[in-house]
């Protein structure tokens, strides 16, 4: 997909939030002029990348300054535009975001030791005076990984390892699950392509990504809760390919032994209602022996 400025305008409109389109348009014009003549490895104009990053951030609910900074995030490092020019045209806050992203981009990230990877993650978070800098960097990496097919093979592996060890855990730490899971899936394509394709094919063969099935389960639960006069928010999803990969390949299981490929979440207002719903779920569906976990009475160590 080639991102255009119209793509960004459409995304901003779809968010139904107030944006200062004059400022965003101005940032786009500066980025477009600064990156004139620069191409990505795909052959697309380079400006499509900052536009894509801005789209990702708008979809994540980030603010106007963050979208402006996303459009400008490479101009100081890769063009003749100075940080002082950015500050003069867009204000100190946008300039600080652009400067922060530029500085984070200079930190060497590749490491093979988990403890070193954790140190890098802490350093990235500590160096960012504004957490929006880290979120822009996550969006930057996400779009680069989406287009990693154009990189040389070794770079694909190096960047994928970096993504898995540093960026995905940071997204998890910040609670941005969609970004975390997409980063992990994209990285897995290059770190273990055979396993990735195998799981992807099995999901297709068994139609496990069929949203209709999830909707059926949600409706069944909703009907039961209505009978009990319990108000709840119900959502569902298919687990990510990397999430399944961890259970199959890293835990030494067979694909058919992974019981939680679908995830259904029911959110209520009280612990009592939660336990009442648990009883209702056991009436609706057959519990699997030794698979029940109660993280209310026995929380996970990381909760």
pLDDT of res. 262: 84
Q: How many CA atoms lie within 13 A of 115 on its CB side?
A: 0
Provide the token pair at 131.
Answer: 């957490």
pLDDT of res. 3: 93
Alpha helices in 35-63 (DSSP H): 48-59
CATH class of 208-284: alpha beta
Cβ-based neighbours of 99, under 8 Å, separated by 6 or more: 76, 83
Q: CA-CA distance, 131 to 73, in Å (whole number)?
A: 15
Q: Which region, left, alpha or beta, applies to residue 88 given φ > 0 means left and ψ of -120 to 50 means alpha?
A: alpha
Helix/strand/coil for 178: helix
Catalytic residues: 77-78
Q: Are 267 and 231 in contact (CB under 8 A)?
A: no
pLDDT of res. 104: 85
DSSP H/E element including 202: helix 193-205
As a dihedral over the C-alpha atoms of residue 134, residue 139, residue 141, residue 144, rounded to 10 degrees, the angle is -160
Q: Domain locations in the chain?
A: 5-191, 208-284
Q: CA-CA distance, 3 to 6, in Å (whole number)?
A: 8
Q: Which CATH superfamily is domain 5-191 in?
A: Hypothetical protein af1432 (1.10.3210.10)
Q: CA-CA distance, 162 to 155, in Å (whole number)?
A: 10
Q: CA-CA distance, 102 to 106, in Å (whole number)?
A: 7
pLDDT in tens, the chain (303 residues): 789 999 999 999 999 899 999 999 999 999 999 999 999 999 999 999 999 999 999 999 999 999 999 999 999 999 999 999 999 999 999 999 999 999 888 877 665 556 567 767 776 776 678 899 999 999 999 999 999 999 999 999 999 999 999 999 999 999 999 999 999 999 999 999 999 999 998 888 776 556 788 889 999 999 999 998 999 999 988 889 999 998 888 777 777 777 778 889 999 999 999 999 999 999 899 888 887 888 999 887 654
Provide the token pair at 9.
Answer: 């305008």
């Amino acid at each position: 997909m080639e991102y255009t400025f119209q793509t960004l305008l459409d995304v901003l409109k779809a968010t139904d939030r107030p944006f200062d389109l004059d400022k965003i348009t101005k940032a786009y014009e500066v980025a477009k002029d600064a990156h004139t003549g620069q191409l990505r490895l795909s052959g697309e104009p380079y400006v499509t990348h900052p536009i894509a990053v801005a789209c990702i951030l708008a979809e994540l609910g980030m603010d106007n300054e963050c979208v402006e900074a996303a459009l400008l995030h490479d101009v100081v490092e890769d063009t003749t535009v100075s940080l002082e020019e950015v500050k003069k045209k867009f204000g100190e806050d946008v300039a600080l975001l652009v400067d922060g992203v530029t500085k984070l981009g200079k930190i060497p990230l590749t490491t093979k030791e988990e403890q070193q990877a954790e140190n890098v993650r802490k350093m990235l978070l500590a160096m960012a005076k504004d957490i929006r800098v880290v979120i822009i960097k996550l969006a930057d990496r996400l779009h680069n990984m989406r287009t990693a097919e154009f990189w040389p093979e070794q770079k694909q592996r190096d960047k994928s390892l970096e993504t898995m060890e540093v960026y995905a855990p940071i997204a998890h730490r910040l609670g941005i699950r969609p970004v975390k899971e997409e980063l992990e899936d994209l990285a897995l394509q290059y770190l273990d392509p055979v396993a990735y394709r195998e799981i992807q094919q099995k999901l297709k063969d068994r139609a496990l990504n069929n949203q209709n099935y999830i909707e059926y389960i949600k409706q069944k639960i909703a009907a039961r809760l209505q009978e009990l006069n319990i108000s709840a928010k119900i959502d569902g999803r298919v687990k990510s390919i990397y999430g399944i990969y961890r259970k199959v390949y890293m835990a030494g299981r067979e694909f058919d032994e992974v019981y939680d490929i679908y995830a259904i979440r029911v959110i209520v207002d009280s612990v009592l209602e939660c336990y009442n719903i648990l009883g209702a779920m056991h009436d609706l569906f057959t519990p699997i022996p030794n698979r029940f976990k109660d993280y209310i009475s026995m929380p996970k160590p990381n909760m």
